Amino acid sequence: MPVRTTIVVGASRGLGHGIALAFAAAGDSVVAVSRTPADFPGSVKSELANAGDATVPARLLDRYEPDVVVLVAGASPHMRPLQEQTWETFSVNWETDVRVTFGWLREILLKPLRPGSKVIVVSSGAALAGSPLSGGYAGAKATQRFITSYAQDEASRAGLEITFTAILPRFAPETGVGQPAVRAYAARAGQTLEEFLQQVGPPVTPELAGSELVELTGAADISPAYVLTGSGLQQLP
Ligand SMILES: NC(=O)c1ccc[n+]([C@@H]2O[C@H](COP(=O)([O-])OP(=O)(O)OC[C@H]3O[C@@H](n4cnc5c(N)ncnc54)[C@H](OP(=O)(O)O)[C@@H]3O)[C@@H](O)[C@H]2O)c1
């Protein structure tokens, strides 16, 4: 079987790093996109770029012609109650997460990627439950899920045979977005970090995200959206 090419956008740290490593371990040719360099085994090609720049999606999609694209890149929200946000802090995830998703999905449809390609967008469990201490984060992550479904609809209408799916992870307390979030929500609940994490249940880790997404891309049938908990993926209606 020919080697698949997988682009992971937002792969220098956290969940994206674990996802890039897992696809490489599965034998894919992996392109890891981030603004800062990261440690990777020799088989992973690192591309230093701001994924939200207007010309980056077309340039990288044309250069690598990927079979799989995983959009993980996201900003760390400003963990403060609503009244302590400014519009600039409130909107950081719109300017990064939503901008990156919009730019890449648009370009994937315009190009288009070849039939059979798979596109995974990492949204958040906050899109279902809200996130009162992180400004516009939950709304931005919900918008990522919406535009993933819009992209699927456009692809289906045009007969492109590209599959789009959104992943909504629960807390990954060791990574850049998760760590400040679990601390802030523990403090607000008047709990220690340990008490809060115990109540949250088994954590999502970069390794788990990686193995679950590799398995998902091998599945015959992929649903429009999944929640990712420490126990794995659960399909959303
Ligand atoms: N951790 C959680 O609890 C959790 C829960 C639900 C959903 N999520 C979502 O999962 C994703 C990853 O979260 P994480 O905690 O793993 O975050 P993280 O550790 O902070 O890593 C974020 C990654 O995104 C990259 N990135 C950010 N902006 C970028 C840009 N403009 N262009 C290219 N790369 C960019 C960063 O690399 P550079 O800085 O080097 O560019 C880094 O590799 C986010 O979308 C987050 O909202 C996280």
Q: CB atoms < 10 A from the CB of 54, how many?
A: 10
| Residue 100: pLDDT over 80 | yes
| Residue 42: pLDDT over 90 | no
Half-sphere exposure of 106 (CA within 13 A, CB side): 12
Check if 48 has its Cβ closer than 6 Å to any atom of ligand 1.
Answer: no
Note the pLDDT tens digit of each residue in 184-235: 999 999 999 999 999 999 999 999 999 999 999 999 999 999 999 999 999 9
Position 237 confidence tier, pLDDT thresholds 50, 70, 90? confident
Whether residue 181 is contained in a domain is answered as no
Q: Which atom of ligand 1 is nearest to the CA of 141?
A: 47
Whether residue 50 is contained in a domain is answered as yes
Whether residue 195 is contained in a domain is answered as no
Backbone φ, ψ for residue 48 (5° rounding): -85, 115
Whether residue 188 is contained in a domain is answered as no
Note the pLDDT tens digit of each residue in 58-92: 999 999 999 999 999 999 999 999 999 999 999 99
Residue 145 belongs to a domain with what CATH number? Answer: 3.40.50.720
Whether residue 196 is contained in a domain is answered as no
Residue located nearest, by CA, to atom 18 of ligand 1: 176
3-class DSSP state of 17: helix
| Residue 133: pLDDT over 80 | yes
Residue numbers of the domain that contains 64: 5-172+204-235
pTM reported for the whole predicted model: 0.98
Q: 8, 35, 104: which to mutate for ligand 1, most atoms within 8 A of CB?
A: 35
Q: Specify the pairing of strand 163-169 against strand 225-229.
A: parallel
Domain count, the chain: 1
Whether residue 114 is contained in a domain is answered as yes
